[in-house]
Structures are given as structure tokens and as C-alpha cells.
Chain A
């Protein structure tokens, strides 16, 4: 064979043919190289992509566990509803982004097209509620209240409603048994966000796109237990989603049930009584402001004294937690969070902080004993106490003469505590403090658990504040620039205070120690902190972490994980002192400031202990505090701008006790009427099929507990007086609390607080209550 054909073909053609051959081979070589690159070098990665391609997950949502009261009555459970949802991904594929479909849907559902479109738009910084803040890939519920007829209309004409589904779904329900709303304690759910999915990706409980997540209250605290595990079935599918085979299947595991220590009936009574007390307070004229009391918010806690378990916890204003179910409307959302809303989402029992006023006095009492003073005294309860020309007056300038600390608690004598606190302040070096001051009064507050969270099993508890030396320093550092800028020696009131603060705001002054001794000044506490302290006084000194969760019971009832009460400390007092304080607090209920509220109480059978407090808030009406305990329970109520401790909260608290123990109007005990004479010990039974045995509950347990006749009784003279000396209020945010009380304290450093503050009352007011 020859490469030179006999035609004598020109070399040009011959060369070009070789060029063609080389080109052709290099093209094939390129293909071979690329093939090697894709299959051998990158093969693993593509294999992974391929498996993601042909596996589809079908998620069966887990049924969320119920939240039960102590006897098994569901406070939160699920019901089946017809849910109409829209798939955003489907809608966005349409030319008009699904507008036509949504308009048609609105007609069927009897909504306006605008409402429907707002429900399916995605939330972002510029989009106000309502909007969808869950994953855009998840079907978005438009309504969960579709009638069967509407659902049928949608399902029968599926071709007219592409991307729209109407299916029965388990939806959260807050049934409010016996009208016990329990809103803030229960919390609420909302769809999981993309960030949360990402964050939880590698944990042992990752979220699915369809998940609802607890956003507050118990729903959030116990979210992991309640949520269960969604079932995932992995199917191998083709490009059109047709199923070729089942790859893997994990069935859905329903969430566990949470048994709480809440008793729905007591909860209802507590809510009702708080609301009633606030309504009553609004009828009362406040001489200081010349208007009726506003009673804008309040809280009540009923705690098992021996365990720290919460039997009832109410916060007012409240709201209906069912508004969250199925997505909240803009109107409802504004009602809950708007400026005019007064923030009903806040659980003021753990998030409202205010100065405690006289209910604080058990702490300086214990502090004085620790500092070496005797309980018996006697101490002079004079009408006023002077420090370098400043006069701090007792309530209405009352003079009780020389008395013991116990009697000082009973009559809530301010001057006794002024003197003790001031003396200790001097002992610690006064204006030139020693290196290691004892600071008994502040240390004791810390030891009582103030300034720290109690550790209740609810999210976002606030810690309150003990205005000790360290806090003063920190606070001064944070604010001195602003103070020094605005402060003027001879300016307005606010400017003068700023000037004072700028100069010496970092120091604990004599006036500070005096104000602090009666729970005023910068002191802030929460109702749950006070409940914890008074429960400890009842149980022999143990400070329990308050708990609402009592047990987690698996859906089949087989596994029961009890949540045991945990203590976080002991009161720093001896048994003897404790007994003495206990006796004094009983005296408050029998012959002291709260006695007029417990007239006819079967004290011999159910020894009642109490302390009243009326705290002042700068620029606001006084906060009513009422802290009580028996052998079994501690009940603490507070009402912001509500008036005096015993006056505003007294009757309501007594009514709660009446309901608990079945005490009738004439002071007899009717065991049949008693809701919970002893704390509930046993746990409700969850049967293997998931049903729960629970007792029937009356329509409204509060109706059986009528307001006691004492409500209208005339208070004793000393309680009627203007309770101006205390301050504090359940305030919505710590910020606000700071501001209010800080001002007062500043002023207290100088003149007698009371007189300076309320020049029009010539009589000195005093702290008490």
C-alpha cells in the first residue's frame, strides 16, 4: 500500500488530509478526557447529586403532644380542621404569580383577594404582618376554618385551583377548660424559619420545613418533647415525581404529653380574681393623682410552698392564644404587639418587674439579724428619721414607739428599717466605704435570690435588680456621659438630678441605703421571685426553682419522666429567725396591715401569713403588692397602678384561698367546695391508645368563688392612707422600670422623698401597707 497514489495527487491535499486526521483524533481525545474527568475524577460528587435527584421525601407531620393540667385536663391539644393551603412554588410558576387562582379562591372562601394574597406573601423587613415567615417551600395555610363544602369545591375542581390543597390537618387548639385561659404560660406556635432549619440541621432534632415551633411559654420551653418526630418516607421517583419504589420509611412519632402542675380550676379562679381586682381598683379614687387608679396590668402566682410548683399563674392583660393558630391576622397581631396594646403577650408574673415596696421588708429583717441585731430589739418606730438634715418620715408620721422587728413587720414600720440600714451603711464606712464592706442588707437580698432568675421553666424570665455598690458603679459608668452632659446645678428637677448623678452616682449614699431598706429606690423584683421567697418562708427556708412542668409522658403512656423540684438555695436565716419572721407574718394577717382582709378566716385550721406592699413609681400611681402563704401554698399578687397592697389585691387573694380550701363566707370550711385543699400529688394516666383520663371541669370554676364580703369592708386607718411611699410597678420592660425608680432614688439622696415628691400632701406618707 502506498500513500502516494498513482494519480500523483498534489502534496497539498495529502497534507490537508493528515491535518484532518489529526484534528479528528484530537476531538475524540478531548471527549475521552472529558469523560474521564466527569466519571472518574468527579464521579463521586455526581453520584451524590444523582441520589438527591431521584429521592423524594414525603413528610407526615407528627401530632404535637398535649399540655395537661395536674389532673389531666388538656390546656393545649389538637383538633382536626380543614386547612386550605397554597403552594407558593406552584403559584410562582404561573404567569400572574397565581393572582387569578388566589382571587378565585378568595371567592370560594368568602375572603377578600387582598386578605388571601397577604397571607401568602413572604415576610421581610419591609412587609408588615400578615405575611408568611415560614419556609417558602412549605404550603402556606390560608385558612384552617374551611367548611366541608368549601373544601369540596376546591378539591372537585382541582384543575381550577392549581397549587391549592384542602385537607384535614391536626391543628393546635387551646381549649381553655373551665375558661382558664393560661395564655402567657402556654405560649404559642409559629412556623419554623429558614434560619432555624439551618441552625438545627446538625443537631439531634432537626426541623422539617413543615414544622411549627413553640415561640413562647411552655410551647417553647418543652418544644423538643412536645414536637415529636415527623415521619419521613423516602421514595425513589422519576423526573415527573412518579414513584418507582420506597427507599426508606420512618413512621411519625407523636410528641410526648406535658403534665403541668397547673390546676385549670385554680388557674381560672386566679385569672378571674386578678381581673376582678383590677376592675375594682379602677373604681377607686387616687388622691395623689386626682383620678381613679388605672390598674393597667397585673399578675398573680399560686405556688405549692413545699415544691415550688406553680398551681396557677396569670398575667393581665391576657389574650386568646387561639389567634395564633393557622397564622395570625394583621388586626390580631396589632392588638397583641401594637403600642396601644399594653403588651398582653408579656407574662408579667415572670417578665414584669417593679419595686416591691414593703413586701421586701422580710429581707432587711433577715439582714439585720445577720448583721448582729436582735429580733426583739426594741427599735424605735419613730414618726421620722433624719440624716444630716434630711427627714425620712414614717407612714403618716405614725409613731409606734419601741418595738421588735416582728412588730415592725406587722405594722410595716419604715423608720425601724431606715435606721438599721443607715447604721449598717455607716458601719461599712459611710461615704468612704471600707475595703470589704459587709453589705448585709444587699448580700441578704442576693441570698434570697433577688437580682437573679428563679430558674422557672419558662423562657425569657427577667432577673430584677438589687441596687448594690457594684450595680451603682456599673450603672454610673454606662450613663455618666449622658448625665454630665444634661446635668445643671440650678436647672430643672431632671437636670439637677442628672447633675447629682454625674458627680456621685457611682457611690452608695446614705439616702440610697434608706430607700433600699423598704424596697424602694432602684430595687426591682418579679412576682415569681416574691412567690419563691414567700414559699421558702413557708417551707422552712428552701428556695425552689419554680416549675410548671411536672412530668413528660410518652404518647402511649408507658414512659413517664418526672420533673422533680430542684432547689437553688436556702434562706440565709436560722430556724429560730425563720420562726420569728413566720410569726410576724401571721401577725400581719391577724392584727397587722392585712388583718382587715382576713376577717373571719379560719386561722386556727389554716394559718395564714401575709405581707402587704404599696410601691411608688415615679410619674405613676402606686403598685399594689400582696404576698401570702399557708402551709401548702404561696400566693402573690401585684397590680400596677392599682393602689395599696391590701386594698387592691387583698380581696382577690383571699378569694383564691377561699376557692383553694373551700372556705365559705362565714369562715367555715366546706371540703366539697375546696378546689385543691392539698396540692395534687398523682399524675394523670395516659392510656396506651393515647387518650387521657381527665375529670370533668365545671363551666366556670370562678363563679363558685364569689368575691368575699370583705371586699367592701372599710380598711383600717393606716391602710387607707396614701400609700405613697412605695414605688415600683409591674412594668412592661426593665428599661422603663429603671428609669422610673432611678429618678426617685436620686432625689432620695437629698430630701425626704415623700415631701419633695408630693408637696401638696402635708401629711407624710409612708411606706407601709
Chain B
């Protein structure tokens, strides 16, 4: 692979035109961007800012007396996210490929830093680094991205060079090793949700890489056996199991996670078809749902915007995922395919887990809803991923 080809240059061939004509020409960058993804992501982010605002405007203990505190910050995060997207687009995913070892190393270094006294604990997970100015960083969000890039690099290099049709066992092992190291670190935080997302990403990446079925099913079986072993050997305390299972039966942990599950379900269920109206939800105004601006942001939409609003969020995320799948399928090289598929796996599972837990069909873990939840690092990471998807799409031959 040549690598390092700038997407802007790719788009820049042909007769020189100027101004709007050039911008809107059929082969122009603007025309070739994946607008559905872009717009969906943008709408989700803006909608998210409203929901975050609704959830936090009364939470004086969080917003330091400023009802717009979270609204402003969410919009700021979105702006930075969009800038990062443009940056990723500018560099291009191929250019980034050469930087993967550095990025991977840096992200792993950051999550190791979290484990030192520099890190701080939020909601039981020691996964944050406090920055000056009230900002904080959750490096594990970036690691999701660097795992995808790193594994894609390892798995795709020989295939894209035409040496092999599929990655060999040794390469797969190397790729797994690359993923397992940060997973173990994140597990130590402990941040089970992120580990689960990473595991799904690994699975998605392996699937897309064309690795042997034995690896795919082997890993799935290993995961299942591992889970059963942990369960049966009593490595977890009863309360941990209850906490995990409480999504199905809130009675198991009525004061803890069961409470969240219950209140979240009440909030969403009471929304009905069109919801109570923005800023009018009792559950939201009354602050009955914990972590409502982050992990449980979907409940605001459910209560205040009803089935219509919740459905809209699902639809927008569906558009992003659908387009991302198309991008993965339509791209010519395996590296790009793996990156796109990894992002699909990431977004899809995180969406399913996050909304699923508010609906009471998935266990409660601390995962943000892409674009919608309040949280800078997550916002940055998902927008960077969008940048990568756009970059991959742009490299597609024009004729397509």
C-alpha cells in the first residue's frame, strides 16, 4: 500500500473550476462526502445538547448554579468533535495508518496513567484523568479507536500487499495481543462496559478481516465459557451478580442498579407516543433517573419526546450504521474495510447496550450513547470515527 495519499488531493484532479461550481461539482469533496452520516451525527449531537440541558438545568449540585453549564459544554464538545473529524478527514485514514503505532502507544500510556494516582474515580470506575478547568478525559474512549486501527493495520498489511488472501494465525494472535493489553488495563479500572465494547470490536474486526472461522467461533466460545466459569466459581460476589442481573429483575438490587432500571423504565414508559414535551417530564424534572445526562440520556428523550423522539434517535443511529456498513462493503482495501467494520461494531454495540439498559433488556453499565450523551472524550472519539468513515468513503473510485 502506498499510504499517505491525501484525500483532498484525490478529489482534486480534473479541470480546475472555481467557487461554488467547484464546491458543488459532482466530483467535489463536498458532493462526495457521506452527508447522511454527517447530518445524522450533527442532528444527534444537537438533539443531545437539548436533552442534556433538560436533564441538568435543575441539577444545581452538578451545574454549579448555571443551568446552561452542560448545554454549553455539550455544544463545545460537539464543535471540538467536528473539528477533530475534519482533522481526521484532512489527514486521511491512510496517512493515519503510519501513525497507528504512535497513537496506540499513546492511548495505552494514557489509560495506564489513569491507574496511577493521576486518575480519578467516577461512579466506581477509575477511568478518568482530571484536567484543569473542570475538564476531564476518559482515555479508554480513544483506545476503542486505536484498537480498531492497530488491529486493522496488523491484519490487513499482508493481505493488502497481496501476500495472502486471509490473515494467518500468527497475525491474528498478534492482533489479539494488541487488543488484550488495553482490555486488561481497562478491566482493572474496572470498567466492564468498555471491555465489553472492546470485545465486540475485536469480534467485528476479526469477522471483517476474513480470519478463519475457527478464530471467530473459538473466541465466542471462549467468551461464553469464561463467563460461565466466573459465574460458577463464585469469583463474583452475589451482589455483583445481582447488580448485573438487576436489569431483568430490579428487585434484585432495588436500592442500586435496580433503582436506576426501574426509574428509567418508568420515565420512558410514561412518555407514550409523543412524550410529555421537552422540559416537561416529571421524571426528568424531578431528577428521579440518576446519570441522566450521560448514561441514561435516552430516558429524557423517551419521557419528553415519547416514541416519536426515541424512534428518531434510533433512526438517526440506524442511518449512520447503515451507511457505515455500506462504506465497509464498498471500500477496496481490507484495511479500510476493517476500520469501517470495527467502527460499525463499536457504534452498534454501544448503542444497543446503552439504549438496551434504559429499556431494561441489557444489564446496566456505564457507556455513553454516541453523539447524544454528555461527555467530551466520547464525543471526540465518535466524531473522529466519523472523520475516518468519511475519509474511507472519499477514497472510493469516482466511477462508483
By a beta-carbon cutoff of 8 Å, the part of chain A in contact with chain B is 1-3, 5-7, 9-10, 12-14, 16-21, 23-25, 27-28, 30-32, 34-36, 38-40, 42-47, 49-51, 53-54, 236-240, 244
Name the contact of A238 in the complex, choosing from B287, B311, B361 (C-beta under 8 A).
B287
**How many angstroms between the C-alpha atoms of A43 and B267 in the bound complex?**
10
Which residues from chain B contact A25 at a C-beta distance below 8 Å? 318, 321-322
**How many angstroms between the C-alpha atoms of A236 and B160 in the bound complex?**
63
**How many angstroms between the C-alpha atoms of A28 and B344 in the bound complex?**
12
Min CB distance B345 to A, Å, is: 7
Which residues from chain A contact B266 at a C-beta distance below 8 Å? 46, 49-50, 53
CB of B6 closer than 8 Å to a CB of A? no
Min CB distance B289 to A, Å, is: 8
Residue of A nearest to B262 (CB): A49
Which residues from chain B contact A237 at a C-beta distance below 8 Å? 286
Residues A39 and B286 in contact, CB atoms below 8 Å apart: no
Pull 29 A–B residue pairs with CB atoms less than 8 Å apart, ordered by A: A7-B334, A9-B332, A12-B210, A13-B208, A19-B207, A20-B204, A20-B207, A21-B322, A21-B344, A24-B325, A24-B344, A28-B318, A28-B352, A31-B351, A31-B355, A32-B311, A34-B360, A39-B306, A40-B307, A46-B269, A47-B272, A50-B266, A50-B267, A50-B282, A54-B282, A54-B283, A236-B286, A239-B263, A240-B287
Residues B283 and A53 in contact, CB atoms below 8 Å apart: yes
Residues A16 and B208 in contact, CB atoms below 8 Å apart: yes
CB of B50 closer than 8 Å to a CB of A? no
**How many angstroms between the C-alpha atoms of A46 and B264 in the bound complex?**
10
Residues A38 and B268 in contact, CB atoms below 8 Å apart: yes
Q: When A24-B344, A31-B314, A35-B359 are in contact, do A54 and B210 touch as well, CB less than 8 Å?
A: no
Residues B400 and A236 in contact, CB atoms below 8 Å apart: no
Which residues from chain B contact A17 at a C-beta distance below 8 Å? 208, 325, 328-329, 337, 341
Residues B345 and A46 in contact, CB atoms below 8 Å apart: no
Query: DSSP class of A's interface residues: helix, strand, loop or mixed?
Result: helix
**How many angstroms between the C-alpha atoms of A9 and B156 in the bound complex?**
12
Instruction: Type the 1/0 row for B150-170, where 1 means its CB is closer than 8 Å to any CB of A.
Output: 000000000010000110000
CB of B249 closer than 8 Å to a CB of A? no
**How many angstroms between the C-alpha atoms of A19 and B208 in the bound complex?**
10
Residues B310 and A35 in contact, CB atoms below 8 Å apart: yes
Residues A50 and B270 in contact, CB atoms below 8 Å apart: yes
By a beta-carbon cutoff of 8 Å, the part of chain B in contact with chain A is 58, 160, 165-166, 204, 207-210, 263, 265-273, 282-283, 285-288, 302, 306-307, 310-311, 314, 317-318, 321-322, 325, 328-334, 337, 341, 344-345, 348-349, 351-352, 355-356, 359-361, 397, 400
Residue of A nearest to B207 (CB): A16
Min CB distance A318 to B, Å, is: 50
Which residues from chain A contact B283 at a C-beta distance below 8 Å? 50, 53-54
Min CB distance A23 to B, Å, is: 8
Name which of A36, A38, A43 has the most chain B CB atoms within 10 A of its CB: A38
Which residues from chain B contact A239 at a C-beta distance below 8 Å? 263, 286-288
Residue of B nearest to A3 (CB): B329
Min CB distance A731 to B, Å, is: 54
Which residues from chain B contact A43 at a C-beta distance below 8 Å? 269-273
Residues A236 and B282 in contact, CB atoms below 8 Å apart: yes
**How many angstroms between the C-alpha atoms of A36 and B361 in the bound complex?**
13
10 nearest A-B residue pairs (beta carbon): A46-B269, A50-B270, A238-B286, A5-B332, A1-B400, A21-B325, A47-B270, A43-B272, A13-B210, A24-B348
Q: When A35-B311, A39-B272, A39-B310 are in contact, do A2 and B400 touch as well, CB less than 8 Å?
A: yes
Which residues from chain A contact B333 at a C-beta distance below 8 Å? 5, 7
Name the contact of B361 in the complex, choosing from A2, A30, A240, A244 (C-beta under 8 A).
A30
Residue of A nearest to B325 (CB): A21
Min CB distance B231 to A, Å, is: 24
Which residues from chain B contact A13 at a C-beta distance below 8 Å? 208-210, 334, 337
Min CB distance A6 to B, Å, is: 6
Q: When A7-B332, A54-B286, A244-B286 are in contact, do A20 and B341 touch as well, CB less than 8 Å?
A: yes
Residue of B nearest to A39 (CB): B307
Residues A238 and B285 in contact, CB atoms below 8 Å apart: yes
Residue of A nearest to B348 (CB): A24
Which residues from chain B contact A42 at a C-beta distance below 8 Å? 269
**How many angstroms between the C-alpha atoms of A77 and B231 in the bound complex?**
64
**How many angstroms between the C-alpha atoms of A83 and B208 in the bound complex?**
73
Which residues from chain B contact A240 at a C-beta distance below 8 Å? 287
Name the contact of A53 in the complex, choosing from B286, B306, B321 (C-beta under 8 A).
B286
Min CB distance A37 to B, Å, is: 9
Name which of B283, B306, B317 has the most chain A CB atoms within 10 A of its CB: B283
Which residues from chain B contact A30 at a C-beta distance below 8 Å? 352, 356, 361
Name the contact of A28 in the complex, choosing from B208, B314, B345 (C-beta under 8 A).
B314
Min CB distance A116 to B, Å, is: 27
Name which of A5, A14, A43 has the most chain B CB atoms within 10 A of its CB: A5
**How many angstroms between the C-alpha atoms of A19 and B311 in the bound complex?**
24
Residues A53 and B282 in contact, CB atoms below 8 Å apart: yes
Name which of B208, B269, B302 has the most chain A CB atoms within 10 A of its CB: B269
**How many angstroms between the C-alpha atoms of A50 and B276 in the bound complex?**
12
Name which of A35, A42, A43 has the most chain B CB atoms within 10 A of its CB: A35
**How many angstroms between the C-alpha atoms of A741 and B23 in the bound complex?**
117
Residues A5 and B330 in contact, CB atoms below 8 Å apart: yes
Which residues from chain A contact B328 at a C-beta distance below 8 Å? 17, 20
Residue of B nearest to A45 (CB): B269
Q: When A53-B282, A238-B286, A238-B288 are in contact, do A20 and B344 touch as well, CB less than 8 Å?
A: yes
Which residues from chain A contact B307 at a C-beta distance below 8 Å? 35-36, 39-40
Q: 14 extra interchain contacts, Cβ-Cβ under 8 A, other than A28-B352, A34-B359? A: A7-B333, A12-B210, A13-B334, A24-B322, A24-B325, A34-B361, A38-B359, A39-B302, A40-B273, A50-B270, A53-B282, A54-B286, A238-B285, A239-B286
